[in-house]
Structure 1
Amino acid sequence: MTQLAAPHHLASPSSSVTEVLSRPHDVTRHSMFADVSQLVRPRIAMMVLVTVFASMWLTSGSRELNWLSVVGVLFGTAVVAASSSIANQILERHTDRLMARTASRPLAAGRLSIRSAWLLVGLGFFGGCGCVWLAGNLQAACAAMLTWVLYVCVYTPLKRVTPLNTAVGAVAGALPIAIGWLAADGPQQVLAGDISAALAVASLGTVLYLWQFPHFMAIAWLYRKQYDLADLKMLTVTDPSGLRAAGQSLAAALAMIPVSLAMAVPSGSIRMFLTAALASTVYVLVSVNFAFRRDDRSARILLFTSLGVLLILMMSAVAFSAPKVLSGSYL
C-alpha cells in the first residue's frame, strides 16, 4: 500500500544511524492530531475507501444501493485500514527510526507505547471487520481480514527480504476492490448470469494492481538512499541504476491501457472509453520519461501523475456507469 508521508526534519538522508537514534524526541512539536494522522495515514485510507466505493457502485449496476450499507462498509474498511497502518508501524519502528521520512512517527519516536499500539490494532481489526460484516456480509469481512493479513504479515516483513515485496503489496492494495464487490453481492449476480458488473470490477481491480508499480517505483527512487540506510530491499536499492524499476513501471503502465479500456465495455460509455484511453496514455508517457531520465524530477512527475490518473479513472468509472437509486433518489 502507498506511503506518502512528507519528509521530516528529524533526519537527513545522509544522517548516520547514531545521529538519528541519539536525537531527543521533541514531543511538544507534535500535536495529538498530527500523531493520529501519522498513525492512520488518512491519505492512504481515503484511496482505499474510494476503491471500495467504486467497486460497490459498479457491482450494484442499476439496482438500488443502500446508503446505510455503503457508509457502514466504508467506515469498517477505514478502521481496518487504520489498524493495518498501526500494525505496520509497530513492526517497522526500528527501520522507521533510520529514515528521515518516517523517523518522527509516534512509535518510531517513542511517543506511543507498543502495548497501547497493539491495543489499537486489535480494536481496529476486530471492530472494523465486524462493522463490514454487519453492514455488508461475512464474505466482505473475510476480504477485509485477508487484506490486513497480506499487508501486515506478508508484505511488511518481505520488505526486508526481497524486492518482490512490491508485487505482494500491490495485491494487498488491490484487494479492497473485492471488499466492495462482495459487500454488494457480486457473486450472486455472477451466479444469476449477470457478468457485466463483475467484468467492470475485475478490470478496475487489475488497473489498481498495475497502477501501483509506477507509483511505488517513483517513491522507491525518491527515497532510495533512506531505504538503503534502513536495509530495506526495494528494487532501487538492489539495482541502484534504476533500470529494473523503470522497466517495471513502464511495463505496468503499458498493460494498463487495454485493461482500463475494458472498464468501459460493460457500460458501453464512450466517455469512459475516451477518459480511460487518455489517462492511461498519459501514465505511459510519464513512465517513459522516468525510464529515460531516472532522476528525482522525473520520479516526482511520475508520482504526482499517478495520483491524478487513479483519481480520474475511479471518478469516471462511477460517473459514467449506469444510474442507480440511492436512498430512494435517482442519481
Structure 2
Amino acid sequence: MAITQTSISKVSIISDFKEITKMRLSLSVVFSAIAGYLLGAESIDFGIIVLLAFGGYFMVGASNAYNQIIERDLDALMDRTKNRPIPSGRMSVNSAFTLAVIFTILGIGTLYVINPRTAMYGAISIFLYTSVYTPLKTKTPLSVFAGAIPGAIPFMLGWVAARNDFGIEPGTLFAIQFFWQFPHFWAIGWFLFDDYKKGGFFMLPTGKRDKGTATQTIMYTIWTVLISIIPVFGITGDLKLSIVAAVIVFALGLVMIYYALELFKKRTATAAKQLMIASVSYITLLQIVYVADKFIR
C-alpha cells in the first residue's frame, strides 16, 4: 500500500510539474527557438541547441507559473483551469513561486551562457507575459496584442542565439509569429468564450463572437501568410526562402485562410476549433519548411 501511495504521489508531482509549466506549450516554444537557431546558425553547435532548449523551457515555465499564481482565483472559476495545481490545492502559492523564481534564474542564466542579448530577450519575454499580458487579460481585449510580443520572441530568439545580433532576419521571424498569434488566440477565445467569461476574460477583439471578430481574424490570417513569404523576395538579409518553399508555405497559408473564412461563415465553436488546429499546424510546418529549405538549397 505504501509503495502504491508513493507511486501515486510521484505521478501527481510529475503531472503537476507538467501543468504548472504548461509542458506542451513550453516544448512548442523550444521547438520554435531551435528552428530559429538552425536558420541563423552558420555552423551547428549542439551545445548551444541544448542550452537554448533548457533555457527556453525554463523561461516559458517561469512565465506560466507566475501566470497561474496571479490568476489562481480566476482559474478556480473556469472548468478548463479549476483542476490546475494551485486552485485545486495540490500546490501552494509559495511552492509555485519558488519554482517560478528558480526557473527565472535558471532560464536567464542558461540563455546568458549563449550570449547576453539572448538572455535579455528572454528576460523581456518573462516580464511582458507576467507583468503586462496577464494583468490586462481581465481588462481589455488588447491583452492579446501585449501577449503576442513575448509569444513572438522564441522564433527570433533562436536566431539571436546563433548570431548574437538583432536585424531584419530575426525581425522577420518575430513578425511572422507575432501576427500568427492573433488568429490563433482569437480562435481559442471563440470556442472557450463561455468558460473565459466565467473568469472575467474577454479575449476577442470586439468582446463578442460576431462578424467583427471573424473579420479581424481573416485580416490577421492574411497578413500572417503574406509576411511568411516575404523572404522569397530577397529583402530579408540572410533569411532566404526558395520559390518552391514559398509556394509550399503559401499553400499551407491558404488552408489557414480557408478555416478563417469558415469561422466567418459559420461562427461556431467547432469552426473556431478547426481554425486553432490549422493555425498550430501552420506555424509548425512553416518552421519545418523554412529549416528544410535552408539545408536542402
TM-score where L is the length of structure 1: 0.81
| Partner Cα separation in structure 2 for residue 203 and residue 263 of structure 1 | 8
Q: Contact between 1:83 and 1:121, CA under 8 Å: does it hold in 2?
A: yes
2:214: which partner in 1? 246
Distance 1:34 1:242, change over 3 A: farther
| Partner Cα separation in structure 2 for residue 87 and residue 120 of structure 1 | 9
- Post-superposition CA distance 1:13-71 (Å, at most 9, x none): xxxxxxxxxxxxxx98x8222211111111111221121112111112xx212110121
Displacement of 1:233 after TM fit?
2.6
Distance 1:312 1:268, change over 3 A: closer
Q: Contact between 2:144 and 2:182, CA under 8 Å: does it hold in 1?
A: yes
Give the aligned residue type for 1:179. L
Number of aligned positions between the proteins: 284
* Pair 1:133 & 2:102 matched: no
Displacement of 1:323 after TM fit?
6.1
Q: Contact between 1:235 and 1:244, CA under 8 Å: does it hold in 2?
A: no
- Name which of 170, 175, 180 aligns with 1:206: 175
| Identity of matched residues, % | 28
- Post-superposition CA distance 1:95-114 (Å, at most 9, x none): 00000000000011111111
1:99: which partner in 2? 78
Displacement of 1:210 after TM fit?
1.2
* Pair 1:67 & 2:46 matched: yes
- Post-superposition CA distance 1:119-153 (Å, at most 9, x none): 1011000111101111x111100100000000011
Displacement of 1:259 after TM fit?
0.9
| Partner Cα separation in structure 2 for residue 56 and residue 241 of structure 1 | 38
Distance 1:178 1:268, change over 3 A: closer
| Partner Cα separation in structure 1 for residue 43 and residue 273 of structure 2 | 41
- Post-superposition CA distance 1:210-258 (Å, at most 9, x none): 111111111111111111111113227x633432321221111111222
Q: After the TM superposition, which residues 1-331 of structure 1 pair with which residues of structure 2 at under 5 Å, given as runs?
A: 31-60=12-41, 63-134=42-113, 136-187=114-165, 198-199=168-169, 201-235=170-204, 239-264=207-232, 265=234, 266-322=239-295
Give the aligned residue type for 2:123. M
Displacement of 1:187 after TM fit?
2.1
Displacement of 1:319 after TM fit?
0.5
Displacement of 1:268 after TM fit?
4.5
| Partner Cα separation in structure 1 for residue 146 and residue 241 of structure 2 | 33
Q: Contact between 1:171 and 1:209, CA under 8 Å: does it hold in 2?
A: yes
Is the helix fraction higher in 1 or 2? Answer: 2
Q: Larger deviation: 140-149 or 224-233?
A: 224-233
Give the aligned residue type for 1:240. K
1:9: which partner in 2? none
Distance 1:268 1:300, change over 3 A: closer
| Partner Cα separation in structure 2 for residue 174 and residue 40 of structure 1 | 18
Q: Contact between 2:229 and 2:246, CA under 8 Å: does it hold in 1?
A: yes
Between 1 and 2, higher relative CO (CA 8 Å, sep ≥ 6) is seen in 1
TM-score where L is the length of structure 2: 0.90
SS in 1 for 2:294: coil
Q: Contact between 2:229 and 2:241, CA under 8 Å: does it hold in 1?
A: no
Unmatched runs of 5 consecutive residues or more in structure 1: 1-26, 191-197, 325-331
Displacement of 1:270 after TM fit?
2.3
Unmatched runs of 5 consecutive residues or more in structure 2: 1-7
Give the aligned residue type for 2:256. Y
| Partner Cα separation in structure 2 for residue 290 and residue 140 of structure 1 | 38
Give the aligned residue type for 1:318. V
Give the aligned residue type for 1:297. T
Moved over 4 A (4+): none
Distance 1:32 1:182, change over 3 A: same
